[in-house]
Amino acid sequence: MSYSYTSSGDDIYAESFRIIREEADLSRFSPALEPIAVRMIHGCGQTDLASDIEASEGCVEAARRALHIGAPILCDVSMVATGIPRRRLPHNNPIICTLHEAGIRDAAAAHGLTRCAQAVDLWASYSDGAVVAIGNAPTALYRLLELLDDEKIPDPAAIIGIPVGFVGAAESKQALADWCAAHPGRTEYLTVHGRRGGSAIVVSALNALATPSEKAF
């Protein structure tokens, strides 16, 4: 049996982005943020995601500037780290996930933290001017905000904070927006309010920030 379907990656991408721009309300996004939002919608297949996307005014510029000078990308989980196509990165940026470092499980148990939250404590050596990508654990985002608030970790250039789930996800993302509003000039952010989130959306945002190309890769 044979099937008739579009087999060109570039054609699939082009038609997908055309459909998104036709169906989604993107009118409130700046010219810089609009293509990022399109890619995030493409990553989840839900055009109504547009209504939940929020970013600080300087997020796109700050994240792209950081990536283009070789800043590391700090990831909460392996799904985010392994989902980033290296060849899209502009400067062979290091991709760092500390979740599986030795001692994390024991330290998390001792401190009453999740492993994802405990792993954020190891970011202090890398976070200065970095791009943070949190796509799974609300606890990791909360821990990052705690460390930033206590000035125990250098400020990243931008936080793509889009954890997913039913417990703490929506609240942690609102906390991110509120913290950044209360501390102007320290870091920029991109998030999706509500329960939705996850590694696919975070990686889609990173891909769009790393390169403006809407071609298949």
Active-site residue set: 42
Identify whether the C-beta of residue 179 lies closer than 8 Å to the C-beta of residue 156. no
The helix (H) or strand (E) run that includes residue 144 is helix 138-149
Rounded (to 5) percent helix, strand, coil in the chain: 50, 10, 40
Residue 81 to residue 70: CA distance in whole angstroms: 16
Q: What is the dihedral of CA 100, 211, 125, 180, to 10 degrees?
A: -100
Rg (CA), the chain: 17
